Amino acid sequence: MDDPLTIAEQWSEAGHQVALATVVDTWGSAPRPTGSHLVIDEGGRFEGSVSGGCVEGAVVAEAMDVIETGKPQMLEFGVADETAWEVGLSCGGTIRVYVEKVT
């Protein structure tokens, strides 16, 4: 897999509208470390990873709004260890993800 930042640049240069999601904080267990990236284009195509399970789908959905409005968003997701598997995550914990439009 190519670096998501390189992909964001390539997609943007090719004329696509692009959002970049970055893990900015984690507490407890988290599937991806701080600094992990997910790049999303206006068609819903994405590369990289900020988490997994339902969190990644929610980040893609929010990124579509960020692309449309141009307004960045700070997202927070948390789940207890006891319920993590129920929502498709490998562990409990909390992550904060910053989503911004690439210009």
pLDDT digits (tens, 9 = 90+) for 57-93: 999 999 999 999 999 999 998 766 555 556 555 566 7
Q: Mean pLDDT over all residues of the chain? A: 87
Report the b/e string of 75-98 with b at 16+ CB within 10 A: bebebeeeebeeeebeebbebbbb
Q: How far apart are CA 36 and CA 21, in angstroms?
A: 8
Q: Which residue has the tokens 């989503």?
A: 99
- Give the number of domains in the chain: 1
Which H or E element spans position 102?
Answer: strand 93-102
Q: Which residue range is the domain that position 63 belongs to?
A: 4-102
Place of tokens 């696509």: 16
Single-letter amino acid code for the residue at 38: L
